[in-house]
């Protein structure tokens, strides 16, 4: 598959088939993740792949502590208006899709905390440093991973919500204090015609977000 085709056909998948993709496919996508650029090639990422009986053990921790941890988060008040509008837009589209799929938003919220019932949950971990460079390097690895999923007929949902309960998850996973769980990605085969995998997402135009200098 052509790179641009993979980039443009990737979308967040929130409805998964129950079939479990072979471990070798997940490994191949993680290998693609490791080819991401990183600050001075330090490759500051670690991956934790959970499936089978281990997956609900981990997501139960998130379910148990999520409400309390969300309350502790800093206020969402430094967001530019245009970003807030885009957020409202995606929530509205998602809610509409949820209703047409015959589930309510509370159910979706509960599902989201168990990776939308995906057969794999993949956590991306880095070291805590004062610099932001490790975090952006791992973000590049996550995008590589998502694109590789597309090329193998898989889909994923990058979830900030999956790592909100940092301390509890780190304890369960035996991760040192100086590690950070940056994201969890639910992975599986997409249900191609599910409304939640098909609602429209908009993008601002290049003109809206670009300043050209000297050209
Ligand atoms: C940092 C980050 C955190 C995200 N967290 C969540 C999440 O917790 N739950 C969720 O359903 N989607 C989450 N997403 C997916 C975004 O909602 C999605 O990428 C966005 O709406 C654009 O849609 P697209 O990926 O289909 O293009 C997250 C994406 C990123 C990059």
Walk along the chain (215 residues) and give the pLDDT tens digit of each residue: 899 999 999 999 999 999 999 999 999 999 999 999 999 999 999 999 999 999 999 999 999 999 999 899 888 888 999 999 999 999 999 999 998 888 888 888 899 999 999 999 999 999 999 889 999 999 999 999 999 999 999 999 999 999 999 999 999 999 999 999 999 999 999 999 999 999 999 999 999 999 999 99
The domain total for the chain is 1
Whose Cα sits closest to atom 30 in ligand 1? Answer: 158
Distance 179 CA to ligand 1 centre (A): 22
> Is 1 strand, coil or helix?
coil
- Residue 145 domain boundaries: 3-209
Say if 151 falls within a structural domain. yes
Please tell me if the CB atom of residue 93 comes closer than 6 angstroms to any atom of ligand 1: no
Contacts of residue 128, defined as CB under 8 A and 6 or more positions apart, other chains included, come to: 177, 178, 179, 180
Distance 116 CA to ligand 1 centre (A): 13
Tokens of 130: 């004062």
Q: Which of 6, 159, 185, 203 to mutate to test the pocket of ligand 1 (most atoms within 8 A of CB)?
A: 159
Say if 17 falls within a structural domain. yes
Say if 105 falls within a structural domain. yes
Domain of residue 58, CATH code:
3.40.109.10
Q: Which of 8, 110, 158 to mutate to test the pocket of ligand 1 (most atoms within 8 A of CB)?
A: 158
Contacts of residue 215, defined as CB under 8 A and 6 or more positions apart, other chains included, come to: none
| Terminal-to-terminal C-alpha distance of the chain | 32
- Answer whether 0.95 is exceeded by the pTM: yes
Say if 215 falls within a structural domain. no
Say if 214 falls within a structural domain. no
């Amino acid at each position: 598959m052509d790179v641009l085709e993979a980039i443009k056909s990737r979308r967040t998948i929130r409805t998964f088939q129950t079939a479990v993709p072979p471990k070798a496919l997940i490994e191949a996508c993680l290998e693609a993740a490791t080819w991401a650029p990183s600050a001075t090639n330090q490759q500051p990422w670690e991956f934790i792949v959970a499936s089978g009986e281990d997956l609900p053990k981990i997501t139960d921790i998130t379910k148990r502590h999520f409400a309390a941890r969300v309350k502790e988060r800093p206020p969402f008040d430094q967001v530019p208006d245009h970003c807030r509008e885009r957020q409202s837009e995606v929530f509205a589209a998602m809610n509409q899709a949820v209703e047409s799929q015959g589930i309510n938003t509370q159910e979706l919220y509960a599902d989201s905390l168990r990776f939308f019932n995906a057969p794999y949950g993949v956590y991306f971990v880095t070291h805590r440093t004062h610099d932001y460079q490790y975090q952006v390097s791992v973000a590049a690895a996550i995008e590589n991973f998502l694109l590789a999923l597309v090329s193998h007929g898989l889909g994923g949902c990058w979830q900030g919500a999956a790592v909100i309960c940092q301390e509890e998850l780190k304890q369960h996973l035996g991760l040192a204090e100086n590690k950070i769980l940056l994201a969890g990605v639910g992975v599986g085969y997409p249900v191609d015609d599910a409304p939640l995998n098909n609602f429209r997402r908009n993008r601002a135009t290049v003109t809206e977000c670009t300043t050209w200098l000297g050209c």
